[in-house]
Amino acid sequence: MRYADIRAYRSEGFIGRYQRLVRDTVIPYQYTVLRDEAEDTEKSHVIANFINAAKALRGEDIGDGFYGMVFQDSDAAKWIEAAAYSLACFPDKELEKQVDELIDIIADAQDADGYLDTYFTIKDRDRRWTDLLEGHELYCAGHMTEAAVAYAEATGKTKLLDVMTRNMEHIYRLFVEEGREGIPGHPEIELALMRLYRYTGNEHALILAKTFIDRRGTDPEWFAKECRRRDWSVWGSDGKDADYQQSGAPVREQTDATGHAVRAVYLYTGMADLIDKDATLAPACERLWDSITKKRMYITGGIGSSCNGEAFTADYDLPPDTAYCETCASIGLMFFASRMLAHDTDRRYSDVMERAFYNTVLAGMQLDGKRFFYVNPLECDPGISGKVSTHRHTVTTRPGWYACACCPPNAARLIMSFGRYAYGEDEDTVYAHMYAGGTVTFVNGCILRCDTSYPHDMDVRFTVEKAGSAKRLAVRIPAWSESSTLTADGRPVTDLRKGYAYIDITDGMSIVLTLDGMPHWNCASPRIPTIAGMAAVTRGPLVYCFEGTDNGGDVAGLTVDTSKDPVVSGHNEELGGCVTIDAAAMRDEDTDELYVRSLRQDPVTARAIPYYTWCNRGETAMRVWMRKR
């Protein structure tokens, strides 16, 4: 299965509003950040780093030199990729000119041998490729390669693609032809190389991706040995924790998702994208998928429970109040899901992809597109969160930007490329993995229109405007929908396989899907000690939370009554018209005594809002998991 043709897709409705927000607000704002022109925002210096790298290559004075994180180049790459998807949906000559100018600056910073990385070009060219653990050279190359392919797809312009092809050939010479040892400290280039291969057919990209994946874990001590070979480092890491680097065993032998969550799912995405070339990777990918989704994933699709290393920990260790759940990690989980779908059309992948998007990914950006979460906890208390050392990372307001600014541009590129994840196709079938209003044109000539107000409304109508060479449409029926109906031209659809309904299509056919729109209680497994005996509300793909703003300022004193069904209570226009839910609850009386023998409980109605909308009305308490009776 391949992605749908992004050049012919523009979302409407809910996703369309987000895409216009990214186009009108996020991309322009982030461009000012890259140029150090944004007010009241931490200096980025991203574009200045490329300009100074070009000066260094010419032997000129580099002035203020390099500024920022070692991976600062990747911010420019992700911005270009987001801009590429925006141009595919909304042609814009001014934006295209800005991208072209930035690409010219990036191209000038490429060394004669194809190397491209401003940190080492400016600071010390002799140290290139000697700190793979921390140096992020391959990580930055991966993101810039993704940007290059996206921009070529969207505009037909190949200058950046040519730059990154030369960069790939440089890396190929070192690590394949010359046999240089090493693997990426931060996986990312693997999935990017597969994308370059699929777009250009360049076999060196495929070989290089497979080389990095096949080498990983064959020597669990490799990073520690690399550290001992040099007398300097970027951050002082010793490389001894092989599991943290996903290199404790060869990838085909790995069983548990370990270490830095973003790095893990980027690696697994590259592995999954190779399955059609090497089927021996499939069992490991399936084990790792199950490890994440059955034992190490939050109800919101968040992953990485610990702030120590932004990492996976142990099975069922999913504390809500100290959850890390980096926005980038859920984006990476969506990448992994999409590539597993290409291997096996099964709703267990698309259900998780949808869960991660509508909850953690969207929660990572404020509704006005101007502020962003790096961390996405499931519980916050303004008196504790962001203040005490154990909760320092769980801030109660979204910052505008970060020194480590991976999440904002990552969210932008994901939202603008939503169609790549919502739709897919193979030789004779088109797939609807997620639902969004708009019209999509497939490579096989099928033109499919979707009309829906999802996720707030549960009716989805597809119209086959033209079948092309497609013979079937496969529509996901999500596992969360306890009652669903699907008809094609008024007739029930009965061909169901792995959660997908298969429909023989003809021009003009109308397919109507109606999903369960009732709110539901969800209980936590008793194996999760921090939330055992608690309950959370969901409706459709949306996880809900209780904010102090709607509940008298306090949510810790609430106990929900799960013997009574929660009910839809209306829409909140302040939060974009989202559906609100009311639940019967009891509130503990307030007391200034630290401990008392008993507390009076009064019946109240507790109101819940979609988790992605929390923290948009000022600082307040929030909980997803509630005490239940």
Q: Which residues are catalytic?
A: 310, 406
Q: Find, among 111, 8, 137, the residue nearest to 442 by Cα.
A: 8
User: What are the distances in angstroms from CA 519 to CA 258, 458, 544?
Assistant: 34, 12, 10
Q: Find, among 614, 629, 572, 577, the residue nearest to 455 by Cα.
A: 577
Q: Find, among 142, 130, 90, the residue nearest to 263 by Cα.
A: 142
Structure tokens at 24: 């009108």
Mind giving me the DSSP string for 402-471? -SS--HHHHHHHHHHTHHHHHEEE-SSEEEESS--SEEEE-TTS-EEEEEE-TTTS-EEEEEEEE-TT--
What b/e sequence results for 244-276 when a residue is b if at least 16 CB atoms lie within 10 Å of its CB, and e otherwise? bbbbbbbbbebebbbbbbbbbbbbbbbbbbbbe
Residue with tokens 């659809």: 493
Beta bridge partners of 523: 535
Give ∠ CA 148-374-185 in degrees, rounded to 5: 55
CA pair distance 151, 536, nearest whole angstrom:
41
Strands 429-432 and 472-476: parallel
CA pair distance 604, 454, nearest whole angstrom:
30
Asked whether the beta carbons of 625 and 531 are under 8 A apart, the reply is yes
Instruction: Report DSSP state, residue 506.
Output: -
User: What are the distances in angstroms from CA 163 to CA 114, 135, 157, 617?
Assistant: 8, 20, 12, 45
Asked whether the beta carbons of 71 and 235 are under 8 A apart, the reply is no
Q: Find, among 132, 196, 130, the residue nearest to 169 by Cα.
A: 196
CA pair distance 207, 414, nearest whole angstrom:
27
Q: Which residues contact 165 (CB under 8 A, 6 or more apart)?
A: 148, 196, 200, 202
CA pair distance 43, 31, nearest whole angstrom:
12
